[in-house]
Structure 1
Amino acid sequence: IMLLTDPEIESSLLISSDEGATYQKYRLNFYIQSLLFHPKQEDWILAYSQDQKLYSSVEFGRRWQLLQENVAPNRFYWSVMGSSKEPDLVHLEAKTVDGHAQYITCRMQNCTEAIRSKPFPGYIDPDSLIVQDDYVFVQLTSGGRPHYYVSYRRNAFAQMKLPKYSLPKDMHVISTDENQVFAAVQEWNQNETYNLYISDTRGVYFTLALENVKSSRGLEGNVMIDLYEVAGIKGMFLANKKIDNQVKTFITYNKGRDWRLLQAPDTDLRGNPVHCLLPYCSLHLHLKVSENPYTSGNIASRDTAPGIIVASGNIGSELSDSDISMFVSSDAGNTWRQIFEEEHSVLFLDQGGVLVAMKHTSLPIRHLWLSFDEGRSWSKYSFTSIPLFVDGVLGEPGEETLIMTVFGHFSHRSEWQLVKVDYRSIFDRRCAEEDYRPWQLHSQGEACIMGAKRIYRKRKSEKKCMQGKYARAMASEPCVCTEADFD
């Protein structure tokens, strides 16, 4: 466990190797603003200081060395490409003395001027470097217009080519899965919407996938695009599209080739039939992901719980900020069920085998809700004897976790309280092979998605056992091509 001290008091790291029983303090000669852990080497860390310097450690923060000065915030990356033989390579954007920016790569143990390299010749626009999977992106403005460049598998940079009618003024890379780039582009005539484009394998040539996706400004002025990539299901996205000043939610299973309106649940929370016809009555979801790691956003899914999506939204002709309810899908967005009439925070435990819901409210609470059958039924539990003003919830890291920590305060004058909730006693055994059933991913019955038929293993809803690592098992087989698969 690593803790950071309050920088107003001192600059230190507290490190525990015995699950928090004891801590050892290590003083720092810089103030940490953010940390980036290596995805494979658990002791390798990059630290960004408040004075824009980048430091590296190979000893879990016990010792540090200066890597580079004048680094742009949030523009430093580990080399994580599957074919990379250099896991200690760091990609970063550095500012020069005259205010320009450069793309630099260097070793985490040695970043001297003689050893580092500059893969993109010349300068790039500030805050434009993105390193993601097999791709590296930079932006260069000339003649008052931005030009976008991509490097595929660390080869030479090529200019990204949008259709001739497109005059982009802003671009955001959404996804680089499955050897394609999914990007949101704002055209010269758009102010609050973006168009979605999909690329070829190298990320050079782009085709229009969906027009007029809604966007907004985040708390720090950053652009938030109403597009959500569903975890655990490659190629599946939800998007809020603006049509005649109405915002409607659409879904795709093949990275934007085909879209359809999201289907409303058949019944409401009380089991009454929902009588309405498309397109005047579909389901519309808020697609914002929380910027605060201790509060849930409007929508959530997990890699370890494929097919389960929990989101807030409404049934009607368009997305509304009033009359918000909570909905769940356990079959990757094909069908939905209403679970609460008010907004709740929902956490995934035991690989989605347990869903925990806590009401969004400014009042103190003492209860939470648990579901063991992917949101079909819920049980009420008390987690504190004294009502607590909840400030946030932290799910413990790990695939099989059944522990969560709730933090808040008993009164507006009290200190923070931590409540550790352990659900292990609810289960009396681990799941066995016979506790699972196969589940096939499909889109309204069509099983061939992104060129393959995929079968997952789900725990049977009536079985109340601890999942372990079974849920990740999946079979995939390629589809036989049909006429619809060709352009």
Structure 2
Amino acid sequence: MNDKVGSKTVLSYLYVCPTNKRKIMVLTDPEFESSVLISSDEGASYQKYRLAFYVLSLLFHPTEEDWALAYSHDQKLYSSLDFGRKWQLIHERVTPNRFYWSVSGLDKEPDLVHMEAHTPDGNVQYVTCRAPMCTEANRNYPFPGYIDISSLVVQDDYIFIQVPTSGRASYYVSYKRDSFIQIKLPKYSLPKDLHIVSTDEKQVFAAVQEWNQNDTYNLYLSDTRGIYFTLAMENVKTTRGIGGNQMLDLYEVAGIKGMLIANKRQDNQVKTYVTYNKGRDWRLLQAPAANLDGNEIHCILPFCSLHLQLQMSENPYLSGTISTKSSAPGIIVATGNIGAELSYNNVGMYISSDAGNSWRQIFEEEHNVWFLDKGGALIAVKQPSVPTRHLWVSFDEGRQWTQHSFSLVPLFVDGVLVEAGAENQIMTFFGHFSHRSEWQLIKIDYKSIFSRKCTDEDYETWHLHNQGEPCVMGQKQMYRKRRPGNYCMLGKDYSRILSAESCICRAHDFEW
């Protein structure tokens, strides 16, 4: 990029506009200069604009491609409505990561900014105003009074805040921008911490740590307005994540609405449960019927079931211990063990092709697994602690694997980039040959492993179900997928969902 940005320019971050991939914004390293370089032609050319502040992070508008918010190192928030050419100060004291653009179809003005701001005397308020001119006269305060720091959450139809009180914590919610109402948890609940897990399907799913909990949280599900909550699961395990933060052992399966997998602590044991209706009903994961050698596994619940590790990878280019893709609904790949409880010994790799109803073991050791061609093929590489020259590829959802050599010298694989373009089937491996060597990049064009593009005869259908129950989240859903073993490429026009038919309501489908 030297010939485009200048040979002495030092770059720090690169952002691609989410609504127009041709638009790129690059930040310079503030130790050398404070500038932004913008491109409207996918990086073929750049224009440099000086900044009067150092940018820590950018937030693009969800629909307007030229609008962006910039957060500075001294807690100031700026807005630009011309893709970074000019910036206007919005507020001088804003909490990190607590600023939001308006939600389309809900906020009346598309240029509205929601933020958590600090007063000169050290208190915190919820403030809204319209970009770019956000003077004191133009600011609104939707919640009368002060709020706790880092408690503002603006998500879908809801806005959440926490109010400073002595003793029991108080949480408030605004539904569809109506006035704030205090959240009503059951009387026996004494919360000391609350996190919003999701706000889709016109409900709030929240994790609450009670006064007597240290390494577990309880899950609660709300009514449509997010006011009244009922208990969905107790004692969900947490894991220490980056920087010592507690990460909830709860995984939302991509592509299947309402499907969650959680690790619950009970009687000094941790077991893995699954729900298909966002926490109303849970069951243990069924162990595979056979092992890798094909021998039957005689497993009796609850003393012997499948338990999964649900940690997200700290490296975004490794798959983590569990992986799903919305482009490949129903396929779940995870690290786990069979037994009475979750264990980190004698673990293997397991796969489900039918959204968690049945499972198969695919490896006896931990692997990273990536989805190719919208789940039409899977690629697996051993964990990066061991150097390898080989990768494994499967075209039948993990039933059979073929080994391919991708390097003459064993490589510690630090990560893999899988490009999603339908016409440009490229994987990029990066790693090192030894702990003292430089990084190596290996590009693999996997287009040749597909003999042709798929036709209608290459597909089969499957119905989403929960142990035979066809109604999942109020719908009977039918999917299309490639027949296992057919070596054909799905292509960019491929769609998995064939139909979604509403079910007839029964008594337990209603709120009371």
Alignment TM-score, normalising by the size of structure 1 = 0.92
User: What is the CA–CA distance in structure 1 between the aligned matches of 2:175 and 2:422, rounded to whole Å?
Assistant: 32
2:88 corresponds to which residue?
65
Give the partner amino acid of 1:325. Answer: G
Q: 1:173 to 1:428 in 2, by over 3 A?
A: same
User: What is the CA–CA distance in structure 2 between the aligned matches of 1:478 and 1:47, rounded to whole Å?
Assistant: 44
Q: Is 2:244 aligned against 1:208?
A: no
1:479 corresponds to which residue?
503
Q: Following TM superposition, by how much is the alpha carbon of 1:134 offset from its aligned partner in structure 2, in angstroms?
A: 0.7
Instruction: Structure 2: state its 5+ residue gaps.
Output: 1-23
CA offsets 1:362-419 (integer angstroms, 9 cap, x no match): 2333322222222222222233344333222233366887333322233434433333
Q: Is 2:326 aligned against 1:303?
A: yes
User: What is the CA–CA distance in structure 1 between the aligned matches of 2:183 and 2:489, rounded to whole Å?
Assistant: 48
User: What is the CA–CA distance in structure 2 between the aligned matches of 1:29 and 1:386, rounded to whole Å?
Assistant: 49
Aligned residue for 2:262, secondary structure, equals strand
Q: Is 2:363 aligned against 1:340?
A: yes
2:140 corresponds to which residue?
117
CA offsets 1:221-265 (integer angstroms, 9 cap, x no match): 332111111111111111111110100000000111110001111
Q: Give runs of aligned pairs for residues 292-441 of structure 1, distance below 5 A.
A: 292-396=315-419, 402-441=425-464
Q: Is the 8 A contact 2:304 2:338 kept in 1?
A: yes
Give the partner amino acid of 1:176. Answer: T
Q: Is the 8 A contact 2:146 2:164 kept in 1?
A: no
User: What is the CA–CA distance in structure 2 between the aligned matches of 1:14 and 1:372, rounded to whole Å?
Assistant: 43
User: What is the CA–CA distance in structure 1 between the aligned matches of 2:421 and 2:77, rounded to whole Å?
Assistant: 28
Aligned residue for 2:63, secondary structure, equals coil
User: What is the CA–CA distance in structure 1 between the aligned matches of 2:327 and 2:422, rounded to whole Å?
Assistant: 7
Q: 1:474 to 1:151 in 2, by over 3 A?
A: farther
Q: Is the 8 A contact 1:184 1:197 kept in 2?
A: yes
Q: 1:436 to 1:64 in 2, by over 3 A?
A: farther
User: What is the CA–CA distance in structure 2 between the aligned matches of 1:39 and 1:352, rounded to whole Å?
Assistant: 28
User: What is the CA–CA distance in structure 1 between the aligned matches of 2:61 and 2:329, rounded to whole Å?
Assistant: 25
Q: State the identity as a percent.
A: 68
Aligned residue for 1:104, secondary structure, equals strand
User: What is the CA–CA distance in structure 2 between the aligned matches of 1:397 and 1:60, rounded to whole Å?
Assistant: 26
Q: Give runs of aligned pairs for residues 36-51 of structure 1, distance below 5 A.
A: 36-51=59-74
Greater Cα shift, 74-83 or 324-333: 74-83
Q: Is the 8 A contact 2:477 2:497 kept in 1?
A: no
Give the partner amino acid of 2:501. Answer: E
User: What is the CA–CA distance in structure 1 between the aligned matches of 2:174 and 2:218, rounded to whole Å?
Assistant: 22
1:168 corresponds to which residue?
191
User: What is the CA–CA distance in structure 2 between the aligned matches of 1:156 and 1:397, rounded to whole Å?
Assistant: 43
Q: Give runs of aligned pairs for residues 101-112 of structure 1, distance below 5 A.
A: 101-112=124-135
Give the partner amino acid of 1:441. Answer: L
CA offsets 1:261-296 (integer angstroms, 9 cap, x no match): 011111122222222211111011111122432332
Q: Following TM superposition, by how much is the alpha carbon of 1:331 offset from its aligned partner in structure 2, in angstroms?
A: 0.8
Q: CA RMSD in A?
A: 2.4
Greater Cα shift, 124-133 or 455-464: 455-464
Q: 1:340 to 1:46 in 2, by over 3 A?
A: farther
Greater Cα shift, 24-33 or 160-169: 24-33
Q: 1:164 to 1:59 in 2, by over 3 A?
A: same
Give the partner amino acid of 1:329. Answer: S
Alignment TM-score, normalising by the size of structure 2 = 0.88
Q: Is 2:261 aligned against 1:238?
A: yes
Q: Is the 8 A contact 1:2 1:14 kept in 2?
A: yes
Q: Following TM superposition, by how much is the alpha carbon of 1:485 offset from its aligned partner in structure 2, in angstroms?
A: 4.1
User: What is the CA–CA distance in structure 2 between the aligned matches of 1:11 and 1:419, rounded to whole Å?
Assistant: 34
Pairs aligned (count): 487
1:178 corresponds to which residue?
201
Q: 1:421 to 1:24 in 2, by over 3 A?
A: farther
User: What is the CA–CA distance in structure 2 between the aligned matches of 1:485 and 1:469, rounded to whole Å?
Assistant: 35
User: What is the CA–CA distance in structure 2 between the aligned matches of 1:128 and 1:413, rounded to whole Å?
Assistant: 44
Q: Is the 8 A contact 2:384 2:414 kept in 1?
A: no
Aligned residue for 1:35, secondary structure, equals strand
Aligned residue for 2:189, secondary structure, equals coil
User: What is the CA–CA distance in structure 2 between the aligned matches of 1:483 and 1:68, rounded to whole Å?
Assistant: 51
Give the partner amino acid of 1:477. Answer: E
Instruction: Structure 1: state its 5+ residue gaps.
Output: none
